[in-house]
Structure 1
Amino acid sequence: MIGWNDIAHLQTLGRPLLGVDLGELDGRGRTIDTLVASQVSWRGARLQGCRLKNVTFVDCDLRGADFSEAVLEACSFTRCKLDASRWDKASLEQTALTLSSLQGSRWQGGRVVMSAFTQTDLRGADLSGITLHRAVLAQSQTEGANFERAVLDQAVLPDVDFRSLRVAGLVAHNAVLREARFDGMDLSQVIFQRCLLEGASFVEVDLHGVDLRESNCRKASFVRSNLRGADLSRALFLEATWTDVDAQSATCENSLFQSATLERVRLDRAKATGSIWDHATMRQVALPNADLSYAHFDHATGEGIDLRHAGLQHSSMHNTRFITADLSGAARHRLRGTSMARLAAESRSLSLEMH
């Protein structure tokens, strides 16, 4: 059976480790630098606490391998079998896993930095407590994976279907989650700060108290969702759709709802100072007792708008066309209406928008 002296000799010659079975070879705590392993079988490999640098695995069978507390730098795994492998508290940097199977693998407390999972099979994987920093997970299978308490820091996970994933306690900062699907999920314990959620789907989702501060939810869909008490400060909902949403007592300070469509939405007692609703379409939207000071509703249209006892101080309703709106008891100090001079100046651009 091949041993470490044989591998060292191949490294000296600059030759790959090719087509061998490493059997029970013990790699615990070892340092392996600059090696290519191709068509190697090393099932159940013991690699706890090892250090791998510039190591390339191609078409290798590493099922059940234990990389716990290992440190990998500039490594790659291509078309490898890594099912049931263990990566608890492992550290991966500038490492690529491509076209590989990682079903049932464990990554508890691991840290993955500037690395990529591409076309990998992570079904049933346990990634609880993992940190993905400037990492990419793309075109991969993730059904049944556990992301509880995971940290997505500037990570990129486009077009992921989260519906079968466990995500309680997940924290996402500056993460790219474009076209994500969260339908039917409880996200009340999740944080999405400054995330790109463009085109995401939130149908029948529990988002009460969620943190969506400064996130980009352009063209996202919120349907029959609970956003009570959510923090949406400085979030962007450009061209988003809100239908049958309960967002009572939500914080929407300086949020952007420009060109959004809102129908049967409750925003009672919302804190929406400085929010922008320009060109929005609003039907049966309730904003009683909401703080809308310095808000803008320019060119917004709608009907059935409830603004009773709302704070509209210093707000703008230039060319706002609410067919029916109840402003009884609303504070309207320095509320600005339509400026004919401004409307005339805008007439050409508005005509182009309509066409």
Structure 2
Amino acid sequence: MAMSNTEATPLKILKPKLPKQLEPICLSDEGIDDEASFLQFTCKDETLSEITANKVLFDQMTFDSVAFERVSLRHAELTDIVFRQCDLSNVDFSEAILHRVEFRHCKLVGIDLAAATLRNVRFEQCAGDYATFRFANMKAVSFQSTTLIQSDFYHSELSKVEFAECQIDKAQFSGTKLAGIDLSRTDFHNLGVTLEDLQGCIISPAQAILFTRIFGLVVKE
């Protein structure tokens, strides 16, 4: 475990590439079926409920104040997408591909991104408690001021992933290599993690003391 004494350099995340004009769409009227494609639309102030579809493509879209209720979109592909103030709690995005996607001020409690592939994804001021990222492959992913209490990163692959001012208490990282991952700006009292997983992880001096308690070590003065 490496100690952190300097402020981390912000991670560079590619932003979604959106055209200046997007056509409004009401997805609840359109319907979402297997292998449906939606390109260059903006979806706002609606509720999408009772949807189950596989391999749906969303490309160059924005979602504003959209609530997803009992929605399963497994194997979806999301490219150049912005979610603002949306409720995606318990949405099933397992095995999805996300590229240049932003979640801003969203409710993501229990969202399922198991075995998903995330590239250039930003979570900003989101509520992501109980979120599932197990077996996910994540590269260039930023969590900013986001709660991830009891979230699940079991056996995930993390590369250039940052957690800045995040709450990650009781998050599960077992089987996930944390070498080069900076946890020094996170808040937690306990983590599901092994000493082997922590090799090369960046932590603060206060967290080093906390880990001695987590692993039942005794420091003798």
Shorter-chain TM-score range:
0.7 to 0.9
Change (3 A) 1:80 1:187: closer
Mapped to 1, the partners of 2:83 and 2:73 lie a distance apart of 15
Change (3 A) 1:87 1:163: same
Cα deviation, residue 257, structure 1: 3.7
> Could you say which residue in structure 2 is the equivalent of 1:168?
109
Mapped to 1, the partners of 2:48 and 2:116 lie a distance apart of 19
> Could you say which residue in structure 2 is the equivalent of 1:272?
none
Change (3 A) 1:86 1:213: same
Q: Pick the structure with more strand per residue.
A: 2
Cα deviation, residue 197, structure 1: 2.9
1:196-345 map, 5 Å: 196-253=137-194, 256-266=197-207, 284=208, 286-291=210-215, 308-309=217-218, 327-328=219-220
> Could you say which residue in structure 2 is the equivalent of 1:194?
135
* TM-score, normalisation: structure 1: 0.49
Cα deviation, residue 211, structure 1: 1.6
Contact in 1 for aligned 2:106/2:125 (Cα 8 Å): no
Q: What RMSD over aligned residues (CA atoms) do the two structures have, in Å?
A: 2.9
> Could you say which residue in structure 2 is the equivalent of 1:83?
25
Mapped to 1, the partners of 2:66 and 2:125 lie a distance apart of 21
Segments of structure 2 that go 5 or more residues without pairing to the other structure are: 1-20
* TM-score, normalisation: structure 2: 0.75
Contact in 2 for aligned 1:120/1:141 (Cα 8 Å): yes
Q: Output one character per residue of 1:180-228: Cα deviation in whole Å (capped at 9) or x when no partner.
A: 2224333223222212232322343322222221122222122333322
Percent identity of the aligned residues?
A: 14
What is the DSSP-based 3-state SS (H/G/I as helix, E as strand, rest coil) of the residue aligned with 1:110?
A: strand
| Paired AA for residue 168 in structure 1 | V
Mapped to 2, the partners of 1:194 and 1:218 lie a distance apart of 13
Cα deviation, residue 243, structure 1: 1.4
Rg larger in structure: 1
Structure with more relative contact order (C-alpha pairs < 8 Å, separation 6 or more):
2
Segments of structure 1 that go 5 or more residues without pairing to the other structure are: 1-78, 267-283, 293-307, 310-326, 330-355
Q: Output one character per residue of 1:122-173: Cα deviation in whole Å (capped at 9) or x when no partner.
A: 3333333221111111112322332122111101122322222221231221
Cα deviation, residue 117, structure 1: 0.8
Contact in 2 for aligned 1:209/1:227 (Cα 8 Å): yes
Give the count of matched residue pairs.
201
Q: Would you identify which runs of 4 or more consecutive aligned residues in structure 1 move more than 6 Å?
A: none
